[in-house]
Each structure stands twice: as structure tokens, then as C-alpha cells.
Structure 1
Amino acid sequence: MPRPEGILALLDSRSFGSIWFWVILTLAWTLAGRRILGVPADVIAGAIRAEPGPRDDPAALTLLDWLSLTLPRWRVDRREGPVLMGLGAFLLTTLAILGFGYGLEMAQALVLLILPFALLFALELRLARRLRAVLAQAEVGMPVNEAGLRAARLMRRHRVVIVAMSILAVALTAFYGAIWMIVHPFGH
């Protein structure tokens, strides 16, 4: 049976001084902005450039097709939501207590890495709910170009939020990591 000291020693490994932590942080935020709800950025950009008119623009149709394929994955049932939120809150609270209460560097780094992505996940669920409404309107008669443009604008606005969150999260993590390294030059 593993001893608690061994598990705590693993969590206390150097995070802010490791190049791998910074590579993972940068890579995670880079990949977060590449796709919105699984839809590539170039599909969204094409739908924004769609011209209004009587004919359905292929770019708007492509975006609506992507949404009809990806949005069902972003549906959280009424019973799943509280369980998912409870598990996430438990995980983040446990890491925060270990990190900021007991001073474990790895737990602090994980909180700074996971917490913004938890907020981003909540925003993406909200965006998916809004896009489902747009898709439902398109199915009952809204012109395809208008529905595609409306969906693309919502997704572009969400991408701006992702970029702002990524800049803020990386800057705050770098600032906190620098302070940690100054205060704990030898990792203790």
C-alpha cells in the first residue's frame, strides 16, 4: 500500500522551475483557441464572410453541419450537471487546500492550470446552449445565411474570450511562478 509521504512527495515536485510545466501550459492554451466546440476556426471565418442573399452560402451550410455534428456532445443532462460540478469542485478544492494550505508547489501549479479551464468549460457549455437555439431556429425556417452568421458571431466572440482568458491565465501563472521561485530558490 502506498504511503502518504510518497504521494505528497510526488505532488511536491518542482513545477514552476520545470520547463515541462510551461510547455504544457502554453500548449494547452494554444490548443484551446484552435477549435470552438470542435469546429475549426477556418470554418467559422468562412461563415462570417458569407454574403446575405437568396441562395444558401456553402460556408454557412458547412458551419451549421459542423454544429449539428458537434453540439450533441456538449449536452449535459440535469442529473449529470450536479455530479460533474460536485466532482470538479471537490478536485479543485482538494488541490487548492494541498497547494495553498500546505504549500505543495505541484498542487498550486495544477490549480493555476485547471481552474481557468474549468471556467472555460462552463462558458463552452453556455455557448453550446445558445448555438442549439440558433440551430433549432435554422431548422424551422430561419435563412441559412442568417443562422450561419449568427452562430459564427457567437463563436467568434467566444474565441475572443478564450484569447483574453489565455493571456490572463498565462500572465498570472507566470507572475505567481516567478514569485514562488524568488521566495523558494531551492524549492523548499
Structure 2
Amino acid sequence: MDWYTTVFEVIDMRSFSNLWYWIMLAILWSTVTHWVLGVPWDMVHRARRHGGQLEADLHTLVMIYARRMVHIADVAGFALVWFASAILSALAVIGFWHGVEFAQAVFLMLFPLAIVMLLSFRVARRVLDAGESGEALYRRLGRHRLVVRMIGMVSIFVTAMWGMYQNLAVGPLGG
């Protein structure tokens, strides 16, 4: 048995039939929906409920992350879009054209995340431009979180449907 065969026996490249893939997908979307513009959602909730110093801290933290995201978009936005497009295109071609399940699985994780990142950059710019605070900031963060959660639900649904199709149509031996 050679090295290549041993590695691929240990690391199952049939992602959709692998429990670890589904655990990682759940952790990924749980984490993405918990952190809104770099701020944990429980902090937003507590600041809205109690106000005072918690609200001031939240506003400061949101502004720090929003300025950071806008700076990154302004300085490296083109390069980031180019690089992400190249990676996603390569994954799509390798996964769906050439039938590599691992690339399909990674694409189905990263493509929705790219959409979430674009939306996050947009929301960060809007927060900075409007100088939002208080209830307006809570509404903006809440709407953004809702959109991210909906993207996550659609992503998990599409991934589950594609994974079931792969497992039923391709079968355990790859064809």
C-alpha cells in the first residue's frame, strides 16, 4: 500500500457521506450567524436590553470592525474579489464538471460565505456612512443577521439535497 492510498483511506474524500463534514457545516453556520460584523450577537442583545455602558461598548466595537472592513475593502477589495472568484471558479469546475465530491463540498461551504462577506462589507459601509447608533444600529445588525441566517438555511438545504443526491445516485463506491 502506498502513501497516497493510505492518506485517502484515513481521510474520506466522500464528503457528503462523512459525519465530520456535516458537523463542520453546522459549526460553520452557527458561528457565522452568531458573529454579526465581528460582534457576538449576545452582546448586541444585552446592549439592547440594558443600554448604558454595554450600548457604548457595542457601538465602539461595531465602529471598529466596520472601519476595519471598509478599510480592507478599499485597500484590497479588488484583489480579494479576484482571488475569491478564482478559488470558487476552480472549485466549481473541479467539483461539478470533473465530479470531484470534495471540491463540491468545499464549494457548497465557501460560495454562500462569499455572499455573506459581500453583504457584511456592504452593511459595514452603510453603518459608517450613516453613523448609526442606538436603535437604528440594532435594527441594521438584526436585519443583517436575519439575512445571514436565511442564507445559511438555504445553503444547508441545498447542500443536504445535493449530498443526498450524491449519496443515492453515485453510491458508496463512486459509481
* Bin of the TM-score, shorter chain as denominator length: 0.7 to 0.9
CA distance in 1, matches of 2:40, 2:66: 14
Q: 2:137 aligns with which of 133, 139, 151?
A: 151
CA distance in 2, matches of 1:69, 1:112: 31
TM-score by length of 1: 0.80
Per-residue deviation at 1:50?
A: 6.4
Cα distance change on mapping 1:155 and 1:187 into 2, 3 Å: farther
Corresponding position of 1:171: 157
* Alignment size in residue pairs: 166
**1:111 has 2:97 as partner:** no
Matched position secondary structure for 2:15: coil
RMSD in angstroms over aligned alpha carbons? 2.2
Consecutive unaligned residues of structure 2, counting only runs of 5 or more, are none
**1:13 has 2:13 as partner:** yes
Per-residue deviation at 1:12?
A: 8.7
Q: Which has the higher helix share?
A: 2
Per-residue deviation at 1:126?
A: 0.5
Per-residue deviation at 1:79?
A: 4.7
CA displacement, residues 92-125 of structure 1 (integer Å, 9 cap, x when unaligned): 0001000111011001111111100000000000
Corresponding position of 2:147: 161
Q: Following superposition, which runs of at least 4 residues in structure 1 exceed 4 angstroms of deviation?
A: 9-12
Consecutive unaligned residues of structure 1, counting only runs of 5 or more, are 1-5, 52-56, 138-146
Highest RCO, 1 vs 2 (Cα 8 Å, sep ≥ 6):
1
Corresponding position of 1:87: 83
Q: 1:64 aligns with which of 56, 59, 62?
A: 59
Cα distance change on mapping 1:182 and 1:81 into 2, 3 Å: same
Per-residue deviation at 1:77?
A: 4.4
Sequence identity of aligned pairs in percent? 28
